[in-house]
Structure 1
Amino acid sequence: MHANDKPINGQHRPNPTKAQLPELPPARKETPWIARVRAAWTRSWEQGGFLYRRWEEIFRVRNASWHEIANWIKTTVLVAGISVVIMMVNAAGDIAGAALKGLAHVPAVDAGDGSGLWGTVDHPIRAFLAGQAAHLSVAPAALYAFWQVAGLLGLIGGFLGNAGARIAWGLFGCATLAMVWSASPAGGRAAATGLAALMWALASIVALRGLTLRPIVHNHPPQFQPQFNPTLHLHATLPAPTPAGDDLDDEPDNIHPLQR
């Protein structure tokens, strides 16, 4: 009995012989072009290979500045960013077109009787838009809905601090006052316009939150204070020493030695 023939449940199991082992299928021989592709793939991942260098450039992106990044990575990022922007603009255009198309088919709404404070302001606006829509290829309800959307976006955007939304809110208020003044009855035109101005001013508390006309001055001490060390530089020209044995005979006549 061999050393590997261990008893199992009191019985000895002999080792399988070569004739008893199952025959393995023969190894599939690679075609020449597959072998070349496999060899090229292996060489490209070795140190200094093409794919090895590209992977190193991608790995260095996280610690490199924009100017240090490889050109092919910057080109890929720019192309991808431009593609995303184009898709977003295209989607925004489709959404805006669908919204405007839906506003154009909004059914007409009742102009109301103009009673109450809100009706005093809202009724002239509806009447003005209805009169103008008669000369345009758009429904009065679409103009009124657009006026409401513009005011709502200006109010919300102004509250969030967007400068463009605050400009739109200002134009919305001026247009509203002009419509109220134009379509209100002559006897109550001033009162209706003043009431509209007060409502717009109260809503501006929310839309123009945080807006101030005073210049903002930031008084922050400089983080780096240069040290001033004055230094005085004196440049003196010393006469050349007189050679030994010089009796000063070659001096000009107007120079005489000091006599005591």
Structure 2
Amino acid sequence: MQHDDKPTNGQHPNFLDLFNQLPPEPSAPELNSTGRLGWLRAAWKTSWKEGGFLYERWEEVGQARHVSWHEAANWIKAALLFGGLSLIVLMLDAAGDITSATLKALSDVPASGAGDGSGMWGTVDHPIRVFLADQAAYLPVAPAALYAFWQLTGLLGLVGGFFGNAGARIAWLLFGIGSLAMIWSATPAGGRAAATGLAALMWALASIFALRGLSLRPIVHNHPPQYQFNPAVHLHATIPAPAPAGDDYGDEPDNVHPLQR
């Protein structure tokens, strides 16, 4: 069994080893359908015996589940990278098709009425429809497409914010601010303040779910220091070596006399 792509018998594993381990091909007189089929069956069995090419590759697959990425066989890593890149390309292609189809569907939405503006929801929704319809007259897009995009933005911001996505929460905040601005602009002057205030309350109630878990308190992490400081004072004293006994060099002061009994 081969580990960590180490060479076997002095050589690295090669796909040509599969052919080197095959039994001899049948001779020309025996080269018929039956002989070729038997030869392939024998080759298949030989490669799956212990020490065979396919046997060794299967052992490497089993070993890859218990080793790190760097210890896996090179052909396994190449196959995983190729498969991952292919999956990413397919996902990007599918995402592009879905986005294109969605934008095309929004552009083809037929124009719809602006609503009658009755009821609690109509007080908030009707000014937005009117504002988008007025602005769409200067844009190459249908008013219904703008309204559908506004609804889609709010839905994605609400759902994504509920699951804690930062980008979705930013979109939800911009959605609310833009909605309040449109309501203030399109509502008649007599009921402008009431309609905007009502919309702000609705947006605040919905923000309970969209901004779930968001806190304005600063997060303080109290972690112990990763180093230790141990102050120490090191004193270096030099002690002169004692003079040998009987050493008299005459360098003592005059007032120093040896002790006499």
- Asked whether the two chains share a fold, i.e. TM above 0.5, the reply is yes
Question: Does structure 1 residue 170 correspond to structure 2 residue 173?
Answer: yes
User: Could you say which structure has the larger radius of gyration?
Assistant: 1
Q: Look up the SS of the partner of 1:68 in the other structure.
A: coil
Picking from 74, 88, 95, the partner of 2:77 is: 74
Distance 1:228 1:50, change over 3 A: farther
Partner of 1:215: 218
Equivalents in 1 of 2:77, 2:257: separation in Å? 85
How far residue 141 of structure 1 moved from its aligned partner, in angstroms, is 1.0
Are 2:50 and 2:56, in contact at CA under 8 Å, matched by a contact in 1?
no
| Structure 2, gaps ≥5 residues long | 1-23
Alignment of 1:125-144 (within 5 A): 125-144=128-147
Distance 1:76 1:245, change over 3 A: farther
Alignment of 1:216-235 (within 5 A): 216-217=219-220
How far residue 65 of structure 1 moved from its aligned partner, in angstroms, is 2.2
The Cα offsets for residues 56-93 of structure 1, whole Å up to 9 and x where unpaired, read as 44333222223333333323222211221221121122
Aligned length: 227
Could you tell me the TM-score, scaled by structure 2's length? 0.71
Equivalents in 2 of 1:72, 1:110: separation in Å? 62
Q: Look up the SS of the partner of 2:70 in the other structure.
A: helix
Equivalents in 2 of 1:200, 1:106: separation in Å? 27
Question: Does structure 1 residue 186 correspond to structure 2 residue 189?
Answer: yes
Distance 1:226 1:78, change over 3 A: same
Picking from 156, 171, 188, the partner of 2:159 is: 156
Alignment of 1:1-260 (within 5 A): 30-31=25-26, 42=46, 47=51, 51=54, 53-217=56-220, 236-243=237-244, 245-249=246-250, 251=251, 257=256
Query: What one-letter code is carried by the residue in structure 2 that aligns with 1:31?
Result: P
Equivalents in 2 of 1:255, 1:89: separation in Å? 104
Could you tell me the TM-score, scaled by structure 1's length? 0.71
Distance 1:167 1:226, change over 3 A: closer
Equivalents in 2 of 1:232, 1:50: separation in Å? 69
Distance 1:121 1:242, change over 3 A: same
Are 2:111 and 2:142, in contact at CA under 8 Å, matched by a contact in 1?
yes
Equivalents in 2 of 1:198, 1:183: separation in Å? 18
Equivalents in 2 of 1:258, 1:136: separation in Å? 118
- Range 112-121 or range 230-239, more displaced: 230-239
Equivalents in 1 of 2:257, 2:233: separation in Å? 35
Equivalents in 2 of 1:151, 1:175: separation in Å? 11
Percent identity reads 66
